């Protein structure tokens, strides 16, 4: 491949897909030396084939880093502790992976003496923010090449058809075709789909788009029952009640939950979300293991977490989800909130029993040695040390504020409720 010369050395976050393969070729044309870096965060990828592709395009080196365990145990399980959920529905699969990817990319860039780091994020999306805030937080002196914000690049490649044509011209094989023009991002936690026909929010995704999870209509007719054991709000063991299989290693445990969720159609969503930069975006997501874990964790907190602590943590969780979604993982506010979340989780220990059936995660029971639940006090059949007469004063005290408001309302509007 003919290139210009001498612009410096770049560490490119390379996926092996359409965008970053074309970016790799373009950087070489522009005169940069390129080191390709691939993060193995659980995506179903032929990493060796991607290595060969990158070298064939012209990368001088290719680094493939297995970050799966770090991703699951260091990031995903922290999100489970917080019940992190963006806009009440999105489990943050893409957002959570970025800190692990960027941290390792900067390490390799420094190790290889790179002048720049680069990525394939579009100029309209959230990921450009997540990657670059991570870069600058970890290495404030690093320089970034963002092709999708460079006119020479985005004017030459105004859309995916132009990239597909460029790839064909350069002999670069790509998975995406003109017939299936949606874009995907996959990791151990989830896979996302966007762009192409999905940009019309009223278009139903074709059935063959969904890659991971069985259609709930096609899922097994027989449910599967499991138990998930937690300590400090993090899963420590999964037991299959049917075959007795027990898994305790964090990564293996999560892989197993992914397997079960995929099998039983658990974890598909189709949403319109608010991007950080102010654009609404339609996205489809498959998050099998994460959906199961969140359901179990939320349920166990009902048994073991103090009411007021849970309310405060829930307030924090909403803000934390926005912080993570917007790319501020390496920020003081994220560290502050996570410290509070971790303290809240000291009592979240026990076991949740679940049934997986045709897209549903059904809670069938829960138990904990340090439960706050007192069956004697809660019982409607026995007093259990609770004097019902005490409720009279409780109600009267709480009615004082309401009576005062009604009196004020009558003065203002002439009537009460």
Continuous H helices in 112-205: 127-138, 151-154, 160-170
HSE-CB at 105 with a 13 A cutoff on CA atoms is 33
Residue 68 known to be catalytic? no
Length of the chain: 417
Active-site residue, from 51, 98, 310, 313: 98
Active-site residue, from 21, 78, 127, 299: 127
What is the DSSP annotation of 77-106?
HHHHHHT--BTTTB--HHHHHHHHHHHHHH
Residue 185 known to be catalytic? no
Residue 19 known to be catalytic? yes
Active-site residue, from 183, 331, 368, 371: 183
Q: How far is CA 117 from the centre of its chain?
A: 23
Residue 227 known to be catalytic? no
Given 3-state DSSP classes, what are the helix, strand and coil percentages for the chain, each rounded to the nearest 5?
Answer: 45, 20, 35
Cα–Cα distance for residue pair 128/135, rounded to 1 Å: 11
Active-site residue, from 19, 95, 130, 344: 19
**In 3-state terms, what secondary structure has residue 43?**
coil
- Number of continuous H segments (helices) and E segments (strands) in the chain: 14, 14
* Backbone dihedral angles phi then psi of residue 284, each to the nearest 5 degrees: -115, 140
Ramachandran region, residue 356 (left: φ > 0; alpha: ψ -120 to 50; beta: rest): beta
CB 252 within 8 A of CB 203: no
Strand pairing category for 183-186 and 143-145: unpaired
Q: How far is CA 206 from the centre of its chain?
A: 23
Instruction: Provide the token pair at 282.
Output: 């339609």
Instruction: Provide the token pair at 30.
Output: 């522009």
Active site residues: 19, 98, 127, 183
């Amino acid at each position: 491949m003919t290139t210009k010369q001498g612009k410096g050395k770049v560490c490119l976050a390379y996926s092996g897909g359409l965008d970053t393969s074309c970016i790799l070729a373009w950087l070489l044309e522009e005169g940069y030396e390129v080191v390709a870096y691939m993060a193995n965060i659980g995506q179903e990828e032929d990493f060796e084939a991607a290595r060969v592709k990158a070298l064939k395009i012209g990368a001088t080196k290719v680094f493939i880093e297995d970050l799966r365990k770090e991703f699951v145990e260091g990031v995903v399980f922290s999100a489970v502790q917080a019940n992190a959920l963006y806009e009440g529905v999105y489990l943050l699969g893409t957002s959570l992976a970025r800190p692990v990817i960027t941290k390792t990319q900067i390490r390799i860039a420094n190790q290889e003496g790179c002048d720049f780091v680069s990525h394939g994020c579009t100029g309209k999306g959230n990921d450009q923010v997540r990657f670059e805030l991570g870069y600058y937080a970890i290495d404030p002196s690093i320089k970034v090449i963002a092709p999708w914000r460079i006119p020479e690049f985005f004017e030459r490649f105004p859309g995916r058809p132009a990239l597909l044509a460029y790839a064909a011209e350069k002999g670069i094989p790509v998975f995406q075709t003109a017939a299936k023009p949606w874009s995907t991002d996959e990791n151990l936690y989830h896979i996302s789909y966007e762009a192409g026909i999905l940009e019309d929010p009223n278009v139903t995704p074709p059935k063959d788009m969904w890659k991971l999870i069985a259609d709930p209509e096609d899922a097994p007719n027989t449910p599967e029952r499991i138990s998930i054991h937690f300590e400090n709000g993090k899963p420590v063991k999964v037991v299959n009640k049917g075959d007795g299989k027990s898994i305790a290693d964090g990564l293996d445990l999560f892989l197993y939950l992914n397997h079960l969720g995929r099998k039983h159609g658990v974890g598909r969503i189709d949403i319109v979300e608010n991007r950080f930069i102010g654009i609404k975006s339609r996205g489809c997501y498959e998050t099998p293991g994460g959906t199961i874990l969140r359901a179990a964790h939320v349920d166990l907190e009902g048994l073991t977490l103090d009411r007021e602590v849970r309310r405060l943590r829930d307030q924090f969780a909403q803000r934390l989800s926005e912080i993570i979604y917007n790319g501020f993982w390496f920020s003081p506010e994220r560290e502050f909130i996570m410290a509070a979340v971790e303290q809240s989780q000291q009592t979240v220990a026990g076991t949740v029993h679940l049934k997986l059936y045709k897209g549903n995660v059904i809670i069938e029971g829960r138990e904990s040695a340090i439960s706050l639940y007192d069956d004697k006090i809660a019982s409607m059949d026995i007093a259990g040390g609770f004097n019902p007469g005490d409720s009279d004063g409780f109600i009267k005290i709480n009615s004082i504020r309401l009576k005062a408001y009604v009196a004020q309302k009558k003065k203002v509007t002439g009537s009460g409720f």
